[in-house]
């Protein structure tokens, strides 16, 4: 499958130099090279749009309001699935696909927001005459209003079981490789649960990102929107990191000049890429699901683990912090959300309290008078 199709363009008032849609998209993406994470996210959405246009024999200039609706339906159900949907693969792999699964409503909205920005840029560049996304503003707002609480997370009992399972040591006599992968997997899941990183942030983390100031440890991370943040490192994370560093033959705590990656390949040196980390976490979910299945455990737990993605770990971390009583203002800083209402979607404890209070609003249940019903032949009286 081609990554960026080439479609000839015939605009008359161009303010850029480009021969086709692929080249102009490339120029737009060049505006975001300073933030690797933003660049990857925007490239993904642009590729999906261009590949869909190629399949429809259309160009960027052909998109109107009606075709925009068709594209949104496509995001919700990319068909034929064998052409569009597949497991994570390196971008150069012949089995690479632009989708891992159909997009949820929230993911579709995010895609449309990114592409609206693209079309605003295309209009300014003179590549297209109008921005069709501006005609769907009300629809996007309604879609946003339909977003409720976060549901894609592991509930506490399942997480507790998973963490115990992850901590089972290898069998006696296991190879050094088995011990290495066991330590690494514990660190990956502990890192994800304790610091709530995005997967790209975990993959790019360096030892020197963990710093100590006035006796307190912080994790420095450049996240979404190229924003720098410092997140408190809890004692359990320091302990996990220390065990991992000992296994690598390093000192217990990081030094300020250590540029080596936190998560490493089997050689103990090279870093892990986003896709490799994604596959490791998904593989762990599948292994855990098989463990429960073999023990004839709960089908719901098995189904949840097989449905879970690495991003569920971030949702799980933030949700469990909220349930533990972390204040919303600190929760938002850990999650690095720009809006408090985004973080508030993780406050499931509030939903539980709501349920309990509404349960006190009751009806007085009066048993039916069966004798009277028999006397009038069972007919209802008005």
- For the segment 324-333, the average pLDDT, to the nearest whole number, is 80
Contact 320, 159 (CB under 8 A): yes
Domain end residue (candidates: 145, 171, 197)? 145
Task: Please list the residues that pair with 228 across neighbouring strands.
Answer: 222
Contact 327, 351 (CB under 8 A): no
Does residue 35 belong to any structural domain of this protein? Answer: yes
Kindly state whether residues 178 and 130 are assigned to the same domain.
no
Task: Please list the residues that pair with 220 across neighbouring strands.
Answer: 230
Does residue 323 belong to any structural domain of this protein? Answer: yes
Kindly state whether residues 192 and 309 are assigned to the same domain.
yes
Task: Identify the band that residue 371 occupies on the pLDDT scale cut at 50, 70 and 90.
Answer: low
Kindly state whether residues 76 and 176 are assigned to the same domain.
no
Kindly state whether residues 140 and 162 are assigned to the same domain.
no
Kindly state whether residues 132 and 192 are assigned to the same domain.
no
CATH assignment of the domain containing 266: 1.10.443.10
Kindly state whether residues 173 and 130 are assigned to the same domain.
no
Kindly state whether residues 294 and 161 are assigned to the same domain.
yes
Task: Please list the residues that pair with 242 across neighbouring strands.
Answer: none
Does residue 317 belong to any structural domain of this protein? Answer: yes
Residue 110's pLDDT is what?
86
- For the segment 88-115, the average pLDDT, to the nearest whole number, is 88
Does residue 361 belong to any structural domain of this protein? Answer: no
Kindly state whether residues 72 and 125 are assigned to the same domain.
yes
Assess whether pLDDT exceeds 90 at residue 159. yes
CATH assignment of the domain containing 46: 1.10.150.130
- Higher-confidence residue: 120 or 37? 120
Residue 87's pLDDT is what?
87
Residue 2's pLDDT is what?
46
Domain end residue (candidates: 121, 145, 169)? 145
φ, ψ of residue 34 to 5 degrees: the values are -70, -20
Residue 81's pLDDT is what?
93
The percentage of residues in the chain with a pLDDT greater than 90, rounded to a whole number, is 48
Kindly state whether residues 281 and 352 are assigned to the same domain.
yes
Residue 14's pLDDT is what?
73
Kindly state whether residues 140 and 168 are assigned to the same domain.
no
Distance between CA atoms of 101 and 93, rounded to whole angstroms? 18
Q: Which of 26-40, 206-220, 224-238, 331-345 is the most confident on average? A: 206-220
Kindly state whether residues 240 and 304 are assigned to the same domain.
yes
**pTM given for the model:** 0.62
Task: Identify the band that residue 39 occupies on the pLDDT scale cut at 50, 70 and 90.
Answer: confident
- Higher-confidence residue: 327 or 125? 125
Domain end residue (candidates: 111, 145, 179)? 145
Kindly state whether residues 206 and 323 are assigned to the same domain.
yes
Domain carrying residue 182: 156-356
Question: How many independent structural domains does the chain possess?
Answer: 2
């Amino acid at each position: 499958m081609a990554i960026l199709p080439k479609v000839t363009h015939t605009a008359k008032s161009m303010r850029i130099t480009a021969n086709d849609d692929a080249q102009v998209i490339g120029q737009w993406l060049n505006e975001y090279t300073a933030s690797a994470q933003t660049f990857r996210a925007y490239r993904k959405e642009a590729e999906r749009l261009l590949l869909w246009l190629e399949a429809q024999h259309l160009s960027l200039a052909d998109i109107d309001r009606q075709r925009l609706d068709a594209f949104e339906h496509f995001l919700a159900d990319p068909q034929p699935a064998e052409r569009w949907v597949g497991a994570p693969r390196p971008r150069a792999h012949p089995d690479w696909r632009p989708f891992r699964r159909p997009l949820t409503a929230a993911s579709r909205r995010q895609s449309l927001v990114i592409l609206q920005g693209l079309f605003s840029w295309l209009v300014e560049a003179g590549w297209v005459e109008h921005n069709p996304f501006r005609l769907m503003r009300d629809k996007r707002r309604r879609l946003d209003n339909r977003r409720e609480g976060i549901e894609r997370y592991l509930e506490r009992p399942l997480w507790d079981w998973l963490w115990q399972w992850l901590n089972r040591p290898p069998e006696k006599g296991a190879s050094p490789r088995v011990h290495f992968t066991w330590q690494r997997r514990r660190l990956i899941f502990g890192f994800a649960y304790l610091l709530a990183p995005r997967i790209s942030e975990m993959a790019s983390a360096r030892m020197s990102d963990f710093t100590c100031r006035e006796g307190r440890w912080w994790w420095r991370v450049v996240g979404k929107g190229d924003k720098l943040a410092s997140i408190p490192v809890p004692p359990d994370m320091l302990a996990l990191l220390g065990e991992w560093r000992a296994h690598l033959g390093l000192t217990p705590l990081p030094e300020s000049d250590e540029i080596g990656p936190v998560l490493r390949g089997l050689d103990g040196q090279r870093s892990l890429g986003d896709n490799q980390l994604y596959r490791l976490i998904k593989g762990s979910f599948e292994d855990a699901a098989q463990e429960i299945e073999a023990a004839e455990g709960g089908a719901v737990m098995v189904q949840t683990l097989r449905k879970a993605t690495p991003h569920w770990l971030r949702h799980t971390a933030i949700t469990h912090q909220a349930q533990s009583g972390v204040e919303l203002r600190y929760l938002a800083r850990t999650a690095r959300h720009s809006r408090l209402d985004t973080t508030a979607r993780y406050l499931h404890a509030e939903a539980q309290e709501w349920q309990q209070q509404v349960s006190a609003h009751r009806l007085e249940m009066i048993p039916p008078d069966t004798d009277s019903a028999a006397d009038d032949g069972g007919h209802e009286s008005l």
